[in-house]
């Protein structure tokens, strides 16, 4: 029976909840609780970075598994399974006593669970249900990470003071269970499952499906296969862009509180700075929707330049005003880049290749995202400063911006030949 409204916007709301509450509580809480873990268990900053780096690597490396799992299971099942695995890890984390315990609970169970249940499934839902409004749908979904994330620093501070960091992880595990329930009850993979087409239009022929009708420069006449897409120079440039937006943000998430407290800021001030920064990433994510109207690779390049500038300010922040300004640039740039990497992939290569290409991109990015927090912690333990590590991240950010500006839309050879044959 046809519904009296387009269910795609319900899917956007569901994906928003699943993504935001699936990833943000764990991602942003680890670095906030890091000083307590260091004090209680004697962990070093290198080990704190190692655990978070392994977490980011495993949630990234798990992304390609979603593409494989979709050959046998629907997104509803995949999201539920991943959420329950993450919940198990966070529950175990509340009882962790050794570095191995942290790696197993947070990095392996939590990281893989989040990777399976959030990034690729939620972006795929937005890509599946929309074409004309694809960038806007994905942007709305991805704002969840920033909105929920902005709540976490004040909430973590409250939980730290009232129930302690161990019990806080039990609460986070309960949140993951809730996302599993939402997926089971309401998620549907594609509009065709309800007799609809993308954007509420009549169902379309998937063989001849046009790519996302965003800015004219990124319209493709045909769908790409994942193999074709990954052989293009654009795919490699977008990998560089993925590293440039993700690694600085990951290092700040793991070491940000430690660095700011080293500079003399109080825990309450750090909580406020993080809350504002993550909240402004929401603005960045929403502004990513201009990829429906402008060339998204240009928006992506501008975003990476902003993030790199924010990283530079973060390195030398000496006053609360400078810390807030630097984190504002970081959050805004990260949010814009986070959305527009996905929009560029979907716009350049179409729906069919999205899950596989994005999964490979996230996995490769995850390797660098794993190394970043670990090396930053190693650098601090050795030199008692983050300066060298942060300078490298600034350079990486600007390199990503240049790569994005150079990343013009791809053109399939057979399409060009067909046009030549018609013209003759």
**Is residue 285 a contact partner of residue 143, using CB atoms and an 8 Å limit?**
yes
- Measured in degrees and rounded to the nearest 5, phi and psi for residue 133 equal -110, 30
Question: How is the chain split into domains, by residue range?
Answer: 8-423
- Which of the pair, 113 or 64, is modelled with greater confidence? 113
**Is residue 224 a contact partner of residue 353, using CB atoms and an 8 Å limit?**
yes
**Is residue 278 a contact partner of residue 149, using CB atoms and an 8 Å limit?**
yes
Give the C-alpha separation, 88 to 81, whole Å.
11
Q: What pLDDT was estimated at residue 338? A: 80
What pTM value is reported for the model?
0.70
Nearest-CA neighbor of 288 among 296, 277, 278?
296
- Quick one: 8-423 is in which CATH superfamily? MFS general substrate transporter like domains (1.20.1250.20)
Summarised one tens digit per residue, pLDDT across range 336-367 is 888 788 778 777 877 667 767 777 887 788 88
pLDDT of residue 399 exceeding 90:
yes
What does the block give as tokens for 385? Answer: 């400063």
**Residue 42: other Cβ atoms inside 10 A:** 9
Mean pLDDT of 224-243: 86
The per-residue pLDDT of the chain, averaged, comes to 83
Mean pLDDT of 156-174: 94
Mean pLDDT of 211-238: 66
Give the C-alpha separation, 358 to 120, whole Å.
7
Q: What pLDDT was estimated at residue 211? A: 44
Question: Which region holds residue 226: left if phi is over 0, alpha if psi is between -120 and 50, else beta?
Answer: alpha
**Is residue 303 a contact partner of residue 333, using CB atoms and an 8 Å limit?**
yes
Q: What pLDDT was estimated at residue 417? A: 37
pLDDT of residue 53 exceeding 90:
no
**Is residue 403 a contact partner of residue 240, using CB atoms and an 8 Å limit?**
yes
Summarised one tens digit per residue, pLDDT across range 107-148 is 999 999 999 999 889 988 988 888 888 778 877 888 888 789
What does the block give as tokens for 75? Answer: 């997104």
Give the C-alpha separation, 328 to 289, whole Å.
19
CA torsion angle 289 207 412 290 (round to 10): -10
């Amino acid at each position: 029976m046809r519904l009296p409204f387009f269910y795609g916007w319900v899917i956007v709301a569901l994906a928003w909840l699943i993504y935001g509450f699936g990833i943000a509580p764990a991602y942003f809480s680890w670095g906030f609780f890091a000083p307590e873990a260091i004090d209680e268990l004697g962990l070093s900053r290198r080990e704190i970075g190692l655990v978070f780096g392994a977490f980011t690597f495993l949630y990234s490396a798990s992304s390609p598994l979603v593409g494989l799992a979709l050959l046998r299971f629907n997104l509803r099942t995949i999201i539920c399974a991943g959420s329950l695995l993450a919940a198990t890890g966070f529950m175990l984390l509340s009882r962790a006593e050794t570095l191995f315990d942290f790696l197993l609970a947070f990095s392996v169970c939590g990281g893989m669970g989040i990777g399976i249940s959030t990034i690729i499934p939620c972006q795929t839902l937005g890509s599946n249900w929309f074409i004309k409004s694809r960038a806007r749908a994905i942007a709305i979904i991805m704002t969840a990470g920033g909105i929920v994330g902005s709540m976490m620093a004040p909430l973590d501070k409250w939980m730290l003071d009232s129930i302690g960091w161990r019990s806080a992880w039990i609460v986070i595990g309960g949140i993951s269970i809730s996302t599993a329930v939402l997926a089971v009850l309401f998620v549907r993979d594609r509009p065709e499952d309800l007799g609809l087409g993308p954007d509420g239009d009549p169902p379309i022929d998937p063989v001849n499906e046009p790519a996302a009708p965003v800015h004219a420069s990124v319209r493709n006449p045909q769908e790409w296969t994942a193999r074709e897409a990954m052989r293009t120079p654009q795919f490699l440039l977008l990998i560089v862009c993925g590293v440039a937006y993700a690694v600085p943000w990951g290092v700040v998430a793991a070491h940000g509180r430690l660095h700011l407290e080293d500079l003399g800021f109080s825990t309450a001030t750090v909580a406020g700075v993080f809350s504002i920064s993550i909240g402004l990433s929401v603005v960045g994510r929403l502004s990513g929707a201009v990829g429906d109207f402008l060339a998204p690779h240009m928006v992506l390049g501008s975003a990476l330049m902003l993030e790199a500038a924010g990283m530079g300010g973060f390195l030398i922040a000496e006053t609360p005003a400078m810390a807030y300004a630097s984190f504002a640039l970081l959050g805004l740039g990260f949010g814009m880049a986070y959305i527009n990497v996905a929009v560029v992939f979907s716009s350049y290569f179409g729906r069919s290749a999205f899950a596989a290409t994005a999964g490979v991109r996230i996995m490769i990015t995850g390797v660098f995202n794993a190394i970043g927090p670990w090396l930053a912690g190693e650098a601090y333990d050795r030199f008692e400063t983050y300066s060298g590590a942060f300078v490298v991240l600034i350079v990486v950010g600007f390199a990503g911006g240049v790569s994005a500006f150079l990343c013009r839309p791809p053109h399939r050879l057979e399409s060009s030949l067909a046009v030549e044959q018609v013209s003759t």
